[in-house]
Structure 1
């Protein structure tokens, strides 16, 4: 099948506050796109359809040479994907179309070897084009258009116990939250043994049903919400120690952005909204935080983690080498080429994470690291591009 690709037009980017969710997470990015250029990046595929199509016309395969000139951190990211694929549970998600679990693992192994050969960009590009099949995402329009956004891990001050300064809790997963074998939230088990939908964010906040499940306390209610929508955080404890917390579960409700409500209420014009403005606004109007964050019914639970933040595969994520996609239609842990013009180039990456708002073929979230600088980079990321996946050819030796 010949794959038609429409190259994206230039986007006029103005930073705004957009929630994209790592199991719902926050991305400080907004753009003003002329109405005639806007696309439905959240368009759903027909039931049973996957996001990738195999390219059979060699002229449609991209030139990887530029990406081959920067392989920093790639070997480590591949190793994390291989570690995931070595787990028996990974076989549950394959075959992916015609790609078997064995072929997926071999693809990563061959790519790991290739990265270690120190070939010139031209030589590596040649090998990739000859030994690997290339698949392209159908995107939001069946022509390959994917919207790339960014996410990161914030650093906030906090405490393991409540104090006068730290009064806003982040919670661990409560007893009674039921999941199936794939981690999907089933609901809440009642005292009578029945299962019902778990309460939404507003109901949780009002009922205080999570008392006793506090994991860590922060000094600002809106910082808690930022952690919820980012999916991870570094917490600087009073003794100076930095502790990582990561996503553990959520309450089973679909993620909803609060941005539209803020704009509709006249708090911000769309072209003016950005993270710093919103943080400043809620610091000046703390009484309005609950009203707005409760527009998002999803509530996220956390756990302490060793090392760096982890993605949905329970492997550490790597800045600019980890992407998040909709795992119901994209293959887990696989090697990708992001054909998108970002301020910090991505090139090759591994599909190792998911997002509560990344629920379509036309969305891809790039992990950009830890701290304020990473947040600034994420805040500039709102670009159209194409997303390609590489698999070793079945007859390749």
Structure 2
């Protein structure tokens, strides 16, 4: 989703303390027999996903850096996937194919999983009635420039001087009015804030139609978690922060709603995305995200396209979280997804997806599947 790029996790939303994320890992080869639930995986559903990944990889120059730690010696460039993708063309069984062409590696660190989803929000393409909160497209004067420390920053040029872009309060106050940037209208600023946190969403129109909007940049201001603000103000307990509790507080305190929302100066802009609504939004790797199969990772440690074996639990509702052991693919990134063993699972769209994403914060195991070098795969 190119999320804030991708959608923010519960940790970003609330500012909760999360496990210390190791900045590197060492890889140790393991056997497929060590993977819990490997024999029960839905291998038939993996074939089209593997083919889509190989198709995406063939669109990139062979020397493109997909990312990844130096500990990963093979699989960081599309060229490393050439033989595996060629073999996939005639493969008929995903289990046999994966076991032949990929070697599982333990990361040596405990994994930590959160979730993100694509929200569905009531909206109108024209202003009127209860639809008074604009969804803005990217402003024409929002640019990126290199700061004196070499980092790229967002801002605007004013009389030859580069300045920070308008913050949330200024934009709420009308700084962008009259520029024709409105691409839709929502019922309230709370819906807009949560859409911006996720980085993409489906707008449900009054006639029942749907329009997807996707991330198209941000103002460059620092992100301040609303949950942290409410905890600091004594409005929520530190262990009681969730998407639902934040929304409930904002809705029941309309006189304080805007002042709290504007404590977060970060502001996200969108573009209309006319892609296939039967699929998920595009991730940073350029592929449509698949619920339960796409994850956001720290690209400095895990390359795009990398298959990952996940062993964790998902919060499906009442009772204890259900064990969840599945193969996923590194197809997205996120501002808060940092460190080895850190991943954000895309859960899809709708009420169930929102519930799982909002309550997923579980430890677990992560195993990387690296493509085997040609000689090794031939021996295998």
Asked if these proteins are the same fold (TM beyond 0.5), I'd say yes
Distance 1:84 1:118, change over 3 A: closer
Q: 8 Å contact 2:44–2:93 — kept in the other structure?
A: no
Query: Which residue of structure 2 aligns with residue 92 of structure 1?
Result: 64
| Unmatched runs of 5 consecutive residues or more in structure 1 | 1-20, 31-37, 46-50, 138-142
- Counterpart for residue 253 of structure 2: 285
Does residue 1:370 correspond to 2:349, yes or no?
Answer: yes
Moved more, 301-310 or 62-71: 62-71
Query: What does 1:138-177 correspond to in 2, within 5 Å?
Result: 143-177=108-142
Classify the secondary structure of the residue corresponding to 1:377: helix
Aligned to 2:319: none
Residue 93 of structure 2: aligned partner: 117
Q: CA deviation at 1:349?
A: 0.8
Alpha-carbon distance change, 244 to 109 in structure 1, aligned in 2, over 3 angstroms: farther
- Listed one character per residue, the Cα deviations across residues 44-66 of structure 1 (whole Å, up to 9, x for unaligned) are x2xxxxx453314x479832653
Structure 2: unaligned runs, 5 residues or longer: 315-321
Q: By how many angstroms is 1:27 displaced?
A: 4.2
1:1-397 equivalent positions in 2, closer than 5 A: 22-23=4-5, 25-27=7-9, 40-42=19-21, 45=23, 51-56=24-29, 58=30, 62-63=34-35, 65-66=37-38, 69-71=41-43, 73-88=45-60, 91-94=63-66, 96=68, 97=70, 98-99=73-74, 100-107=77-84, 110=87, 116-117=92-93, 124=96, 128=98, 131-137=101-107, 143-179=108-144, 186-206=153-173, 208-209=175-176, 211-305=179-273, 306-307=275-276, 308-342=280-314, 343=322, 345=324, 347-394=326-373, 395=375, 396-397=377-378
Deviation at 1:105, TM superposition (A): 4.7
1:176 to 1:72, Cα distance in 2 relative to 1, 3 A: farther
Deviations 1:111-143 (A, max 9, x none): 6765x3165xxxx4xx75564233344xxxxx4
Counterparts in 2 of 1:268 and 1:298: CA distance versus 1, 3 Å: same
Pick closer, same or farther for the CA change 1:280–1:175 going to 2, 3 Å.
Answer: same
The 3-state SS of whatever aligns with 2:239 is coil
Structure 2 residue matching 1:389: 3-state secondary structure:
strand
Number of residue pairs aligned between Structure 1 and Structure 2? 349
CA contact (8 A) 1:53 1:135 kept: no
Once residues 351 and 152 of structure 1 are traced to their aligned partners in structure 2, the CA distance between those partners, rounded to angstroms, is 16
Q: TM-score, normalised by structure 1?
A: 0.77
Further displaced range: 360-369 or 82-91: 82-91
Cα RMSD for the two superposed structures: 3.1
The structure-2 alpha-carbon separation of the partners of 1:22 and 1:192, relative to structure 1 and needing over 3 Å to count, comes to: closer
Distance change >3 Å, CA 176–CA 327, structure 1 → 2: farther
**1:206 offset after TM fit, Å?**
3.6
Query: Could you tell me whether the CA contact under 8 Å between 2:115 and 2:357 is conserved in 1?
Result: yes
